[in-house]
Every structure is written in C-alpha cells, then in structure tokens.
Amino acid sequence: MTVGDGRDDSFDLGVVGRAGDDGPGGDEGPGGHDGPSGADEPARRRWRRWAVPAAALVAGALIGTVVADARHDAAELARVGIVSGPSTWTPEAGGDGSVALDLQLVNIGSRPVEIIGIEADGFGVEPGTDPIDAVEAAAGVWVVVRQRGLLADCTAAAPSSLRVRVRDAGGDERTVTADQHVDYGGIGMLWTEQCEFGGGYVQFAGPAAMTVADTSVTMTLPLFNYSGRSVRITAMVPMAPGMAATPPELPVALDGQGSAQVEVTWAVENCAEASSMSGDAGLIEYSVGYGSMEVPESYPLDGPAMVELVRLANRVCG
C-alpha cells in the first residue's frame, strides 16, 4: 500500500457483534431495514479469520496450565522429605563407647513412609547390632527412631548431615538427606559430646588400702568413673624411684558412674634410688579409653602411700 491510494492502512479486525447490530457502515435503509448485507461481509470474514487462532491460543494456555498443575501435584506426591529433631542417647554397658540413640524425625512429604535406617558420617555401628525396627511415619507426624550400638568415630570429621533410609507403600526404598533444625543441633551434637570427652572424668580416689609384707606392699585403690559413659582403663604404669610395680590385669572396664578396685603391688628394685626418693616421687600414669579415643591421666600417690614405700625401702635395704 502507498499513502493516499485511497485504502485504509490501519489494522482492522472488523465489527464484532451479532448479525443485525448497528455498526460502522450499517446505516438503516428505507423503512428502517439494514442496508445491503454485502457491506458487512469483509468485516465478518476478517473476524472469522482471527477468531479461530485466538481460541486455539486460549485453549492451549488452559491445557498448559492443567498439565503444569498435574506435574506439580505429581512431584509433590513423589516428594519424600525428613526433618531431624531433638535426640537423646544412653551409654550402653560394655565399655566400648556405644550408645542407644533415640532420634525424633518428622515426615514433611505428602505420603506416609517407613523409616528403616539412619546413618551419618563420623559414626559406625557396633558389629552384631540388630537393624532398627521399622517405624511408620505418616505425613506431618513426629516419630522416634532408636538406633542401638552407635559408635562415634573420633578420627573422622564431625558429621554435617543425617541420611535416612525410607520405604514407601509400594516397597520402593531410597535414601534421603534429612534437614536438621538449627535449634536442635542434630546428630552432630552427639558426635561432639562423645569425641570431646576429656581428662578428669576417671580418677583414683584415696585413701588406698594397704597390704604390707616383708618385701612388698600391695595398694588397693578405688577408681571412679564420674562420667555417664562406659570406659576402659587400657594402660597403667605405676612408677617410683628404685621400685618395680605390678599393675592390675588390663583392660579394666568401668560403667558410667561406676567404680572398680585396682591393686598395685610394689617391690624394691634399686636400693640406692629407693632409699633416696622424695616424699612426692610416686606416680601412676594410666590411659582411659572411650570409643576410639584414648585420654592420658595421672595420679600422684598421696602421703600415706609414699610413707609405706619409704618403709618398704628401709625394710629391704636396711
């Protein structure tokens, strides 16, 4: 088209309306009747030409929305999510450092699952421990899962996540990483509590009971475990100048808050050294084992114990 050729350059969709409606060019003829019908035919043809594609676009958009919603619903139904909550643990007997862990978990998915296992870096399970009992976890419901025989590996890094093994109604199993609520600390708190076990928990507490013989002295010393954890005494070296000592049979197992009676027998080995030893020269060094940790400790012999060693040296060496 060219300007001034007498044709309208504008994009005209024509007249939208029912047949017989007044519109541009729709002047009434004589007697109140519409003008010749041929005057509206170009507008009607243009309307029909654009109406079909527009309807197709609208229908396509609606179908796309339905499909997207269906896919979203399917994804939500397929989603499995677990959040880890508060946990408590109880030391198990045996001195191996294992605990029974009670861990609260909530299923944030949209369908029920069974929780059939948990695991985390920095932890292992005592050999021979039975698998956990499967726990039904309905959507949105907190449940408690118990794992026995859990052992912290203090040579590894602290765990940053908890993995939960789940099984759905169809029998399919998968492992999901649980979200951990920052206020609860998660399983990492247990690892920290276990692996930051330090000195001072297991101590000798006098006075010692003495059994005196001509050439020896046997000291029976009470040993207390002030922690709630089961531990082992894995090494013990009694020492005093000029003396040889026989420690107890090792390891010595101590339950949480438990105690044991430890016997150490002393005899003179070198009279020159024994006769000149000072009153604070006696010492027992020992190691406390907990899980994969070994904590060194020491116990200076008290006054009454040192008096008996000096008397022993005098009896034997003259």
pLDDT tens digits, 8-48: 444 344 444 444 444 444 444 444 444 444 555 655 555 55
If pLDDT is split at 50, 70 and 90, which confidence band does 79 have? Answer: low
Domain assignment of residue 3, yes or no? no
Regarding whether 185 and 215 lie in a shared domain, the answer is: no
How far is residue 138's CA from residue 106's CA, in Å, rounded to a whole number? 8
Regarding whether 244 and 168 lie in a shared domain, the answer is: no
Domain assignment of residue 54, yes or no? no
Given 150, 166, 195, the domain boundary residue is 195
pLDDT at position 66: 37
Domain assignment of residue 18, yes or no? no
| Listed ranges 177-181, 256-260, 303-307; the one with the highest mean pLDDT | 303-307
Domain assignment of residue 69, yes or no? no
Name the residue among 197, 193, 184, 190 with its Cα closest to residue 121: 190
Given 136, 171, 195, the domain boundary residue is 195
Regarding whether 212 and 138 lie in a shared domain, the answer is: no
Regarding whether 266 and 178 lie in a shared domain, the answer is: no
Contact 119, 150 (CB under 8 A): no
Q: Which range of residues forms the domain containing residue 305?
A: 202-317
Q: Among all chains, which residue has been given the structure tokens 């020992």?
A: 286
Give me 116's structure tokens.
């059939």
Taking only the tens place, the pLDDT of each residue in 183-221 is 666 788 888 777 766 666 899 987 899 999 999 999 999
Cα-based angle 251, 254, 257 (whole degrees, multiple of 5): 165
**Strand 173-180 vs strand 82-91: parallel, antiparallel, or unpaired?**
parallel
Task: Compute the half-sphere exposure of residue 21: CA atoms within 13 Å on the CB side of its CA.
Answer: 10
Given 175, 195, 215, the domain boundary residue is 195
How far is residue 240's CA from residue 305's CA, in Å, rounded to a whole number? 11
Regarding whether 247 and 163 lie in a shared domain, the answer is: no
pLDDT at position 275: 94
**In this structure, is the dihedral angle defined by the CA atoms of residues 154, 156, 158 and 162, taken in order, positive or negative?**
negative
Regarding whether 292 and 235 lie in a shared domain, the answer is: yes
pLDDT at position 164: 95
pLDDT at position 316: 96
pLDDT at position 40: 57
Taking only the tens place, the pLDDT of each residue in 227-273 is 767 889 999 999 999 999 999 999 999 987 789 999 999 999 999 99
Domain assignment of residue 4, yes or no? no
Domain assignment of residue 12, yes or no? no
Is it the case that residue 64 has pLDDT exceeding 50? no
Regarding whether 290 and 235 lie in a shared domain, the answer is: yes
Q: Which residue has the higher pLDDT, 144 or 56?
A: 144
CA 239 → CA 23, 207, 252, distances in Å?
118, 18, 19
Regarding whether 215 and 162 lie in a shared domain, the answer is: no
Question: If DSSP codes are grouped into helix, strand and coil, which group holds residue 5?
Answer: coil
Name the residue among 205, 211, 208, 237 with its Cα closest to residue 223: 205
Domain assignment of residue 61, yes or no? no
CA 22 → CA 45, 60, 156, 166, 254, distances in Å?
17, 33, 87, 70, 104
Burial class (CB in 10 A: 0-12, 13-18, 19+), 167: middle
- Mean pLDDT is lowest, of 62-66, 142-146, 244-248, 268-272, for 62-66
Q: Is 32 left (phi over 0), alpha (psi -120 to 50) or beta?
A: left
pLDDT at position 63: 42
- Mean pLDDT is lowest, of 83-92, 132-141, 284-293, 308-317, for 83-92
Number of domains in the chain: 2
Regarding whether 187 and 89 lie in a shared domain, the answer is: yes
How far is residue 184's CA from residue 147's CA, in Å, rounded to a whole number? 18
Regarding whether 206 and 189 lie in a shared domain, the answer is: no
Domain assignment of residue 274, yes or no? yes
pLDDT at position 299: 95
pLDDT at position 194: 74
Cis preceding-peptide flag for 207 (omega within 30 of 0):
yes
Beta bridge partners of 134: none
Taking only the tens place, the pLDDT of each residue in 89-125 is 887 776 567 889 999 999 999 899 999 999 998 899 9
Contact 147, 124 (CB under 8 A): no
69 φ, ψ (degrees, to nearest 5): -65, -40
Supply the mean pLDDT for the chain.
Answer: 79
Regarding whether 225 and 243 lie in a shared domain, the answer is: yes
How far is residue 305's CA from residue 308's CA, in Å, rounded to a whole number? 5
pLDDT at position 29: 46
Domain CATH number, residue 175:
2.60.40
Give the residue-averaged pLDDT of 303-313: 96
Burial class (CB in 10 A: 0-12, 13-18, 19+), 10: exposed
Regarding whether 127 and 89 lie in a shared domain, the answer is: yes
Domain CATH number, residue 304:
2.60.40.1230
